[in-house]
Structure 1
Amino acid sequence: MTDRPSLRERLEDPSIVVAMGVHDGLTARIAQRAGFDAFYHGGYAVAAHHHGLPDIGVVGLAEMVQSVQRVTSVSTTPLIVDCDTAYGAIPGVKRTTLEMERAGAAAIQIEDQIFPKKCGHMEGKEVIPRDEMVLKIRAAVATRRDPSMLVIARTDALQPLGLDEAIDRCNDYAEAGADLVFVDAPGSRDQLAEIARRVDAPSVANMSETGRTPAMTADELQELGYRIVIFPSTQTWVIARAYEEVCRELLEHGTTAGFADRFMPFDEVNELLGIQELERVV
């Protein structure tokens, strides 16, 4: 695998970074072959694919680190890692920062929800006091050893406290040292535009296709001023529906032949998985 620019270096380019969701080695290999500049390792996808559970704070730090290692061991593409609430108060933030840095994360994302958290597009979210999150961001920034690793601060204050509070939090988190900030689950294009206009820091947009935020293209978001757009669970929606359909096909017809044109061939999968490199003697 060839080295790629760090995410920090990539952000020096004015074009928006499109970060595709990956949750394991296979999705990482596929997305890297496709040519994305960055990946997003989301808590929703990890909970769903690895554990068959919803994203309600039931997956811990050790499980997330192990999942990150599965991706970084087969890919050189910069990986943005969803670290939820950083799994605790200040000691948890410090440990999370160091563990994710060791696992190869290019960026860690920390959110200001209370624990146990919920997926940002679910109802009933609550957030910790703003000052408490500021301390978390300061701790993460002070703890990281690799200056190229980015700290992304996400706020979930929009739903419970309103847009003005969410924007004010982002500006405070940036002042505390966050490299990028992120208001999750805006409900309209107008809100996306206002966030980009009023937040005084590089911003992240979340295009979760089945969530609350209306779909916009990467070019449209770049025009508004966003620096990164993540597609955190795209693979989850696609895989869930496709696998459901092939299961029904097999039960109904006793064969998967109707899906033959949608299968990646055996040899191509093996090539994708790196069989030549593993079997090479020297």
Structure 2
Amino acid sequence: MTGLLGAATSAADKRTRFRDALNSGRLQRFPGAFSPLVAKLVADIGFDGVYVSGAVLSADLGLPDIGLTTLTEVTGRGAQIASATDLPTLVDADTGFGEPMNVARTVTLVEEAGLAGLHLEDQVNPKRCGHLDGKAVVDIATMVKRLRAAVAARRDPHFVICARTDAAGIEGIPAAIERAKAYADAGADLIFTEALHTPADFEQFRAAVATPLLANMTEFGKSPLLTASQLAEIGYNAVLYPVTTLRLAMHAVEAGLREIESTGTQSGLVDHMQHRSRLYELLRYAEYNQFDSDIFNFSLQGAQR
């Protein structure tokens, strides 16, 4: 039964694995998962971790990514996704859902939910999508307070606290580097460099900052889509593909719905669908059936309803 109804690996072990991996010298690849089922596929294919994007969670709720989601929604969905695999899961905690005391509570609840880490950003509250124009960032001192509150609230020393800076497109790369160093000094274990424009920007960050770095390879954004090999060569420690699975799914769903609407049948779409057998494989139907048969292997005779 181990790992059948939930992850076989404890949350503490996942956190240790994540922290060790960041210092392994090997790029950690974290695709975004918009559901526990997608997380299972991420693990099955062989990625290093799972990411829960705030933009994806908002979109899944039919909302724009402008700080409308709540701490309860994020921790609830994060817990479901984190429990689906043995991989470490990193969650987007936006600006921490309030002032430093709120940030501390955010860390407490996210840790309790079984996540391996979270990232906090230096945007003003409410935030907006990192690849939109018109963003504003708080001053360094304010973000340092957020991070210190997060570090103080952490009970598992292996829980990863990542600091995201959106300052590069507002104040420039040198200012963003200054912020990254201050955030590391405040206790951040990982620095998320958002919306960099060129490979040279990534290289400049790596050369200046000693802390592990995370890259965001989101489509249709401001950053070029660097390959895993390129990022590893530059020296980045982790990469996110935050919205990729949602975009792939929604494109397929829209195309399929339009064909059904126009033709009156889904028969022409069957070859583009995940087969039932593959779904059952991911969900481990055979193992559930074996587990059930081993226990409920009797029959009732003369039972009355």
The TM-score by the shorter chain falls in which range? over 0.9
How far does the alpha carbon of each residue in 1:188-230 deviate from its partner, in whole angstroms, 9 at most, with x for none? 1221211111122111100001211001111111111100011
CA distance in 2, matches of 1:211, 1:81: 20
Match of 2:57 among 46, 53, 62: 46
CA shift, 1:256, in A, is 1.7
Structure 2 partner of 1:229: 239
- Given that 2:30 and 2:47 are in contact with CA atoms closer than 8 Å, whether structure 1 keeps it comes out as yes
- Given that 1:183 and 1:205 are in contact with CA atoms closer than 8 Å, whether structure 2 keeps it comes out as yes
Structure 2 partner of 1:178: 188
User: TM-score with structure 2 length normalisation?
Assistant: 0.89
How far does the alpha carbon of each residue in 1:157-177 deviate from its partner, in whole angstroms, 9 at most, with x for none? 112211111110001100111
Q: Map 1:139-154; keep pairs closer than 5 Å.
A: 139-154=149-164
Q: Secondary structure at the match of 2:178?
A: helix
Structure 1 partner of 2:179: 169
- Given that 2:124 and 2:137 are in contact with CA atoms closer than 8 Å, whether structure 1 keeps it comes out as yes
Q: Map 1:107-146; keep pairs closer than 5 Å.
A: 107-146=117-156
How far does the alpha carbon of each residue in 1:135-182 deviate from its partner, in whole angstroms, 9 at most, with x for none? 111111121111111100001111221111111000110011100111
- Given that 1:41 and 1:82 are in contact with CA atoms closer than 8 Å, whether structure 2 keeps it comes out as yes
How far does the alpha carbon of each residue in 1:45-70 deviate from its partner, in whole angstroms, 9 at most, with x for none? 11112x11111101010000111111
CA shift, 1:258, in A, is 2.0
Q: Does 1:72 align with 2:86?
A: no
Tell which deviates more after alignment, 82-91 or 12-21: 12-21
User: TM-score with structure 1 length normalisation?
Assistant: 0.95
Match of 1:268 among 271, 274, 278: 278
Q: Does 1:97 align with 2:100?
A: no
- Given that 1:114 and 1:128 are in contact with CA atoms closer than 8 Å, whether structure 2 keeps it comes out as yes
CA distance in 2, matches of 1:192, 1:105: 27
Amino acid at match of 1:48: A
Amino acid at match of 1:38: G
CA distance in 1, matches of 2:278, 2:211: 43
Identity across the alignment (%): 36
Match of 1:21 among 19, 23, 32: 32
Q: What's the Cα RMSD here? A: 1.4
Q: Secondary structure at the match of 1:81?
A: strand
- Given that 2:160 and 2:189 are in contact with CA atoms closer than 8 Å, whether structure 1 keeps it comes out as yes
CA distance in 1, matches of 2:109, 2:17: 18
Q: Secondary structure at the match of 2:236?
A: coil
Tell which deviates more after alignment, 260-269 or 206-215: 260-269
Instruction: Specify the structure having the higher radius of gyration (Cα).
Output: 2
Q: Does 1:86 align with 2:96?
A: yes
CA distance in 2, matches of 1:142, 1:48: 32
Q: Does 1:257 align with 2:243?
A: no
Unaligned runs of at least 5 residues, structure 1: none
Q: Does 1:7 align with 2:12?
A: no
Alignment length (residue pairs): 281
Q: Secondary structure at the match of 1:268?
A: helix
Tell which deviates more after alignment, 157-166 or 37-46: 157-166
Amino acid at match of 1:207: M
CA distance in 2, matches of 1:57, 1:273: 33
Q: Secondary structure at the match of 1:80?
A: strand
CA shift, 1:277, in A, is 4.2
Match of 1:192 among 199, 202, 213: 202
Amino acid at match of 2:33: V
